[in-house]
Structure 1
């Protein structure tokens, strides 16, 4: 009879231990659910920059790879500004679309500015493709230009009006409101 009592007590203790583990798992799942709820939803539109349409960009100064000084004053006549990062898979994915969009647009090289963010060695391919089409500026992460535009995502594409005011912004280059060049 004592063996039976010991077995019953042992099974009871195992059930109690199992119950404690189950409660721990449930608690952890609730924490994960709360953390997941705080993440941005995929179906929500991603804001490339924090500046709203109509806002004026902040002050900055940088030097393009061709030695040209680029400042917020340089952008007073408007144009296209792009931000691409060396560590961004979406940037590499969108680069061919962006290059084709630039080639088919009426924008001149002096109206297009591309800020490549990150390690220069990792940006060589992007730099080579974009230099004939735009003024290219290399910047570190968190540099003055990304702060002036309040960049929130990569890639970011921003159309500026006169006065360096945000006309439109997107993470997809094919959504840019760029006039296509006339075909002969």
Structure 2
């Protein structure tokens, strides 16, 4: 997890294209400029960064479920709950479940746990934009490779009727 670069997901552990589930892991760094002000002497991960973590896991799930045909952009956060403090050095388990995808929108539910206890959860709504309409395709696909999403997709056993996910050709397409 690189807080100052908003790279919140360290590794996608698994994705199930048949059920629309993704699990990921992150380790909060022991030190970050974020902790200098939040809070001096008592460093805590800001709640907005926990929401961003859930949004990124959900975004990876949406991209996997759509065969990387659309880029999800966060539009709305519903019912966000920060249930416990997250300190530097904390290992996080992140899960996302796809509730709806279609008509240019996607809805997910996401949860963060640590040591078996729930620390945050929410529902997230995304606008999905075809990748060819954004300049982010190559960057986002490379990030998906970096965090292991492509490996998790390859390891999953998609249910019949699930769209095939193209492998990264390295050309940004």
TM-score bucket of the superposed structures, by smaller chain: under 0.3
When the two structures are superposed, what TM-score results if normalisation uses the length of structure 2?
0.27
When the two structures are superposed, what TM-score results if normalisation uses the length of structure 1?
0.26
**Which of 1 and 2 has greater Rg?**
1
Which one has the bigger helix percentage?
Answer: 1
